[in-house]
Chain A
Amino acid sequence: MKEYLVLRVITKLLLPFILLFGLYVQFHGDFGPGGGFQAGVIFAAAFILYSMVFGVHAAQAILPEGILRAGIAGGVLLYASVGVLDLMLGANYLDYSPMAAHAKEGQHLGIFLVELGVGITVASVMMTVFFTFAAWRED
């Protein structure tokens, strides 16, 4: 698809806004609709768009396999270890209250971290799945 100049230019123009929107959805999920899952999908969509226009190899140059794999595992680990941290602080698993001075702030912090974990894993998995499909050749 390399010869479509309009597509290439518009994609490049759009990308930062899509990514920005992804970040907004990720960090604004407490107040409006959205959260880690939706943000992860939007984030992934940006790179999927990029790889559709510029080729999978170009996208892989930005996000190598190793980073994506670390992301897949890292998000789950982040989520699960927030719970382990709570255990160490003497609370039940995934009880975020003791993570800050006040229970309410602890909850807020916990939700923030957990949503971040969701976002990382979802984005990495979606990109990996798409790249895997896109790179598959019948031989």
Chain B
Amino acid sequence: MLSSHLPVLVIIIPLICAPLCILFRGKDQAFGIALLATWASFACACLITARVMTEGQISYELGGWPPPIGIEIRIDALNALILLIVSGIGSVVAPYSRNSLLLEYVEDRSSMFYSAFLLCLCGLMGVAVTGDAFNLFVFLEISSLSSYVLIALGFDRRALTASYQYLIMGTIGATFIVISIGLLYQATGTLNMADIAKRLPEHGYDRTVISAFAFMVIGAGLKIAIFPLHQWLPNAYTYAPSTVTAFLAATATKVSVYILLRFLFTVFGVHFSFEILPTAAPLLILAILAMFIPSIVACFQKNVKRVFAYSSVAQIGYMILGISFVSVTGLTAGILHLFNHALMKGALFLVLGCIFYRIGSCHIDRMAGIARRMPWTMAAFVGASLSLIGIPMTAGFISKWYLILAAYEKGWWYVTVLIVVSSLIAVIYVWRVIESAYFREPPDDLATVSEAPLSLLVPTWILVIGNVYFGIDTSLPVGLAELAAKSLMGVN
């Protein structure tokens, strides 16, 4: 009986547990509730994915009202994959947060921290499953508001300004999305995304729809941090608490990419987005710029967290590149990179959290010789970095491989070259860290530093192992990504 309600359970479990965290004010109780809630959501997500793979699309009518009268939850392969990413990363990060909090956060309000964390999780998953355009905005705002709070909890005072900047940019982005939804509503009279998609061709692609399209792309672009709309991201990721950075870097931008995919391909439709409007070429150019400029900037950063924040902007470039091919292979590559990037950036930021936990800094010079004191942590770093660069047998390789395949299919050999060259830049910034950690003499004050505690190492290694596992057994992510790509392109 419960199984038919899984699509809504996955959202309301964290939603109900967030206020519960506050009512049970004790730190351990709140932690326990948060942990159970994220794991339960992950279990639901797994069951949903299994159902989607066997039965196809799932629809759930909230309040029992049929869409477009009521709000609908609609899950296909793409939604399921995003759901898996968000809840999966959430379940790894939740246990990690317990220990890292001790250093980075004031203890007496930790129950509220867990509450905010659950809300962020709930909001992101809510965006990922909803079939209603306005509902998407509401859940987007739940996740955004909670992430502003979580970022502002960082140690450094610059976390506050980073959070404020994100709040302004994020709200402008969300308002643009609202404008777009409003214009679509005025053109079609409905808010259900499937219904909009059905009614748009009948309505015709007039100037209102073109304007709606522009606002959606810019609004989602602000949330994704597509180059050059990425200004909020480096500071936010650098100064947020490690746990938060790991969670947001692995999930938030992915969900925003999902919004872009869903609107470009399903709501507006491939015909309008790419055949009537010349969207592919500008996306391609932005993607290539994103692959290079932030990567080069990353090479000159001193704070390692910042290095990987810029690297995230660059990695978003690969996802947009996949989209800009407008082919099944290209989309598969882009969606696959969503999944794989979540694994590798999650792992990398968790490693940095371990280091921060022990030495209170992520500065590249302070990390000199740290591999001798924290061998397991740095080994995890190397593993995740190899995936980031795209070495064979890692997850990162698979998505780059599909990107190259897609470029080859199009006959764009120069894009292939650019993918390889940009990966080499990643080698440079990763090498700077490895050089410092492995080949420099540790300063004297590092003598007392010991390996990170198991409660931090285990979640970190789970993600690192995930990077290797999904580099070898690619059936789950590739299968889902291909299904999703085919349904987005309208190919069976």
Contact = CB atoms under 8 A, between A and B. Distances in A.
Direct contact of A and B (CB under 8 A): yes
A73 B22 contact: yes
B60 A92 contact: yes
Contact of A87 (B5, B15, B18, B65): B5
B135 to A, nearest CB: 12
Interface in B1-57: 1-2, 5, 8, 12, 15-16, 18-20, 22-23
A125 to B, nearest CB: 12
A57 interface: no
A95 B65 CA distance: 8
Contact of A72 (B12, B20, B22, B62): B22
B8 A93 contact: yes
A91 interface: yes
Interface in A72-113: 72-74, 76-77, 80-81, 83-84, 87, 90-97
Q: Which of A69, A94, A96 has the most CB of B within 10 A?
A: A94
B365 interface: no
Contacts of B1: 90
B64 interface: yes
A63 interface: no
Interface size class, chain B:
10 to 19
A59 B19 CA distance: 24
A85 to B, nearest CB: 12
Contacts of B18: 76
A70 interface: yes
B63 A94 contact: yes
A87 B62 CA distance: 11
B451 interface: no
Given A73-B23, A87-B5, A95 B64 contact: yes
Contact of A70 (B2, B12, B15, B23): B23
B16 A92 contact: no
Interface of B: 1-2, 5, 8, 12, 15-16, 18-20, 22-23, 60-65
23 contacts: A69-B22, A69-B23, A70-B23, A72-B19, A73-B19, A73-B20, A73-B22, A74-B19, A76-B18, A77-B16, A77-B19, A77-B20, A77-B23, A80-B19, A84-B16, A90-B1, A91-B64, A92-B64, A93-B5, A93-B8, A93-B12, A95-B63, A95-B64
